[in-house]
Amino acid sequence: MFTERTGIIVWVSDVKAAAKHLEKYGNVHFISKKLHYAAMYVYASRLDDTVKQLQKLPFVKKVERSYRNEIKTEYSSNMPDKTRFYTL
């Protein structure tokens, strides 16, 4: 039902040009005027092609991909609960 997306950070030299042109490559989530970067989501199946196209743009300094979807988010507690030792 949902298409798989991945996040990328695009470091730019011109924020106005980034705001205008990055919409055609994916969903722009946030643009930082102070730190000169844009956080955006692109389709995971077209990630490599999109990164290559973004790196060719004149106002783009660097493109970094997010590893958030590869981080384990389900935790198991193998340690016993110590809260009963600290209660009065």
Query: Does any domain span residue 82?
Result: no
Give the least confident one: 32-41, 48-57, 59-68, 73-82.
73-82
Query: Does any domain span residue 50?
Result: yes
**In this predicted model, what pLDDT tens digit does every residue of 45-69 receive, in sequence order?**
999 999 999 999 999 999 999 888 7
Query: Does any domain span residue 78?
Result: no
Residue 4 pLDDT exceeds 80:
yes
Query: Does any domain span residue 43?
Result: yes
Q: How many domains does the chain have?
A: 1
Range of the domain at 46: 5-69
Percent of the residues in the chain that have a pLDDT greater than 90, as a whole number: 65
Query: Does any domain span residue 84?
Result: no
Query: Does any domain span residue 59?
Result: yes
Question: Rounded to the nearest 5 degrees, what angle is found at the Cα of 27, between the Cα atoms of 21 and 29?
Answer: 100
State the CATH number of the domain containing residue 16: 3.30.70.80
Query: Does any domain span residue 24?
Result: yes
Q: What pLDDT does 43 receive? A: 93
Residue 86 pLDDT exceeds 80:
no
The per-residue DSSP string of 22-70 comes to GGGTSEEEEEETTTTEEEEEEEGGGHHHHHHHHHTSTTEEEEEE--GGG
Query: Does any domain span residue 83?
Result: no
Q: What pLDDT does 64 receive? A: 95
